[in-house]
Each structure stands twice: as C-alpha cells, then as structure tokens.
Chains A and B, each alone.
Chain A
Amino acid sequence: MAMLHTVNKSPFEKRSLDSALSHAIDGAAILMIEDGIYGALKGTAVSAKIEKALGNLKVYVLGPDLKARGMTEDQVVDGVKVVDYAGFVDLVTEYDKVQAWL
C-alpha cells in the first residue's frame, strides 16, 4: 500500500531527499516540510530531481514552511502541490504509512 515520505532537510545539505526518492515506489507521495521545502523550488540545482519524480510520484510541499522562508507558490516546480497543515493531516490519513526522512 502507498506510503507518504516526508523530507524535512535541505537537499543542498543532506541526502534525505535523494534517499526518500530512491526508496519511494510508484504511487507513493513525497511531502517536503521545514528546510525540505528548498527541494521543491524551480530553477535550482536540484529542481530536475523533483521534475523527474513527478512522473511516478505525487509531490507535495507545506505552504506555511514555504512562506516562512520567503518563497511563494509560483516558485514551486510545476506539478508540485502546496498544502496547508490541514492538508498535511489529510495526507497522513490518506496514505497507509508515513516514513519521515530526517
């Protein structure tokens, strides 16, 4: 059954996003939170990883963490959905399991 992978570390500093992506199977979801949101942005050295992942995964990013860091929704890679805290909770209930990549 489908798993939700959360990533809370910057992809420029830690390998959490890479690990999450390499262990996420078709139909799983990635949710980027806290410093993990830097992985969801367009025009960076890691954008291509997310663009590629969108082929077989759903990708989400937490809006309040984006805003806190001065990023707007239109800076997010096309296809990545922005969710609020209620949306975060919905995702946790929607998927069978959660794996937090710290």
Chain B
Amino acid sequence: MAEPWEEEEGPVKKFMYVNRKAPYGTIYALESLEVVLIAAAFDQDVSLVFMDDGVYQLKKGQDTKGIGMKNFSPTYRALEGYDIEKLYVEKESMESRGLTADDMIIPVEMLSKDELTSLMEEQDVVMSF
C-alpha cells in the first residue's frame, strides 16, 4: 500500500538553504535546521550549503553540557532519514578555519567558491541563514 506522501507528485523545485553562522552564539543555525526539517515534508529538491562560519555547525565533538544549551549537532545525522542528501561545504571557508572533511560530523561534498556560485545559479529558491 502506498503511503500518502508517496502518491502525489507535485512540481519539484530546487531549494537551497545557505548556512553562514556558527552554532550557539546566535539562533540562526538551529532555526535553519528546524526549517529544513519541516520543509522536508514537501518533497522538494533540497540542497544544504555550509559556508563562512556555517561550516562550524558540522564540527565533530560538540559537547554543550558546560554552557547549558542543547547540542543539536547530532540532528544533522538525521537528515539522511529525511531524504536530504545534498550537503555541501565551501572549500575556502574550511581552509581559512583550518578544517578538513574529517572534522565534519557527516559526509559532505566540498565545493570551491566558484562551483558553489554555479550551484546557486541553478536554484529556484535560495534561503540564507
């Protein structure tokens, strides 16, 4: 039996969420993650981009017990279950922060600034956090 969410095939648009803020210092990272999880119900073609300080959202080993805030980094690992599989980090942002793909909590594709620019041009909707 088909599940309700498997039946209707509406128009699919390309949505990109651009994450540019570090976690915890401001609410942007968490808000973006919640929007992404909610919007996943609409079965669109979703890409997530992490650039500038946004790459810090995916840093491995976050432990927030000492600051009394919720560690939401494990939630990025749930994205696959929400069929969100296009995850990109900007190479230049990683390099200037001394980060490599091994520092990331989930597998991501590393794109150069120029590659990312072209990807942005292909989108129907770009949302920046």
Contact = CB atoms under 8 A, between A and B. Distances in A.
Contact between chain A and chain B defined by CB under 8 Å: yes
A45 B24 CA distance: 22
How would you classify the secondary structure of chain A's contact residues: helix, strand, loop or mixed? loop
A69 B98 contact: no
Given A42-B98, A45-B97, A70-B62, A34 B25 contact: yes
Interface residues of A, number: 24
Contacts of A45: 96-97
Given A9-B25, A42-B98, A69 B56 contact: yes
Contacts of B52: 12-13
Contact of B24 (A44, A63, A69, A72): A69
- Of the four ranges (under 10, 10 to 19, 20 to 34, 35 or more), the interface on chain B belongs to 20 to 34
Contacts, number: 71
B84 to A, nearest CB: 21
Given A34-B24, A35-B24, 10 more contacts: A10-B25, A35-B25, A65-B67, A68-B24, A68-B63, A68-B71, A69-B24, A70-B59, A70-B61, A70-B73
Interface of B: 21-26, 52-53, 56, 59-67, 69, 71, 73, 96-98, 103
Interface of A: 8-10, 12-13, 34-35, 38, 41-45, 47, 63-65, 67-72, 84
